[in-house]
A = this chain, B = another copy of it.
Amino acid sequence: MSYTYVAPTLTEDNVIFQLINNQLTVLLVKRGKEPFKGQWALPGGYNAAGDTTTDAMKRVLLTKTGIKMSELRFVEQLYTFDTVARDPRGHAVSVSYMGLCRDLEPKHTASTENPVFVPVKDLPELAYDHASIVNYAHERLQSKVNYSNVVFALLPDKFTLTELQSAYEAIFGHKLDKRNFRKKFLSLELISPIKKLKREGAHRPAQLYAFNKQGLQILTRSFE
């Protein structure tokens, strides 16, 4: 059989979430060249032979947004998007990653203008299929905060229950019942009160909490 194999282009795209002013935001860059010149996009780039997708991720984030992968507090492979028509230049398959962070300030770099965190509920039109990639990542995050402690990656080390609830509300996009939320969350035994209190203006100081464990904890209905 005579058959010449032609590989699709491989790319790597990153969905980096951060909470800013009680809103879930995602990191975008403004494209400096065609296709989609001048449009907003996820920071992404080519993944060449010899580069693992994680190598590509590190390089892309740093060169396009000035952010080091090690500054992310949680990162995981999200999904590989492969529809043939997603790039007008030809078939490009994109391995995407989701990252969570806090207090990160992207930097202008030589290769992009305006890397910036934009509220997810108020996204501009995005290049390629990036709107659906953001959507997929948002759904993954919404599901993951229901079966893990992953919200730790978006919060300060010490936080009040109000801050915790507000993080969940930002992720879900709507308000939650305070009593229900506290009862359910505290029953998971993921967090403990710490001695220090947080004083907010003239109010009674609020109890601060911290996660019991560093890193990801998965909560499942174990049958074992």
Contacts and interface: CB of A to CB of B under 8 A. Distances in A.
B168 A223 contact: yes
Contacts of A53: 80, 82, 93
Contacts of A70: none
13 contacts: A6-B48, A7-B48, A9-B49, A49-B90, A53-B93, A82-B95, A93-B95, A146-B223, A168-B223, A176-B223, A181-B223, A184-B223, A188-B221
Interface string A85-109: 0000011010100000000000000
A46 interface: yes
B50 A143 contact: no
A73 to B, nearest CB: 21
A219 interface: yes
**Interface size range on A against B:** 35 or more
A155 to B, nearest CB: 15
Number of copies: 2
A185 interface: yes
Nearest to A54: B82
Given A50-B84, A52-B83, A80-B53, A146 B9 contact: no
B90 A224 contact: no
Interface in A157-183: 168, 172, 174, 176, 180-181
A38 interface: no
Contacts of A146: 220-223
Given A53-B93, A223-B184, A48 B5 contact: yes
Contacts of A185: 223
